Amino acid sequence: MTIHDPTRPRPVGDSKSEMTEIVLPNDANPLNALVGGRLMHWIDLAAAMAAHRHSRQFVVTASVDHLDFLVPVRVGDIVILRSSVNRVFNTSMEVGVKVWVENYHTETNQHVSSAYLTFVAVDGTGGKRLPVAAVIPETAEEKRRYEDALRRRELRRSEHARRTKSQC
């Protein structure tokens, strides 16, 4: 029997998640384009899966960075969301999500959106933050994302401080 050790560092690959959705009429606006809020929901779910796979704990969304919708997604298209943990910061972790649209009639794939989300590991009541095991970047791409995550975190923190100060 293997005993789960939540403090053992894990490779980025252990957190990788892929989620696939088909766009149905209920997901679309009157122009038959995917509603942005639905895509945001899917991005949050895909990111949460990666955060949970890495931390092996309950996780909650703390923030979502800037989000652009690059190309329209239509009813009948297949949306593919790929996510993984980029870096861990004690009780929080940055997760990257890249979204693609696949049109099986034209056999094309297009990049739709990329997002960075911050998740916090919490206990079963959702109140107490829990430490998260370090992530081990192995490939050149994972190492680049690992380093970039630190810069993005510094930007998020300075932006948060600026917003907090302006609200006083």
pLDDT at res. 47: 99
**In whole angstroms, what is the distance from residue 83 CA to residue 54 CA?**
11
CATH class of 10-166: alpha beta
Would you say 84 and 15 are in contact if contact means Cβ atoms under 8 Å apart?
Answer: yes
pLDDT at res. 42: 99
pLDDT at res. 1: 43
**In whole angstroms, what is the distance from residue 109 CA to residue 100 CA?**
6
In the chain (168 residues long), the average pLDDT of successive 10-residue segments reads 72 97 98 97 98 96 93 96 98 98 89 97 90 97 97 88 77
Please choose, from the candidates 101, 4, 102, the residue with its C-alpha nearest in 3D space to the C-alpha of residue 53: 4
Q: pTM for the complete prediction?
A: 0.90
Nearest 5°: phi and psi at 111?
-75, 125
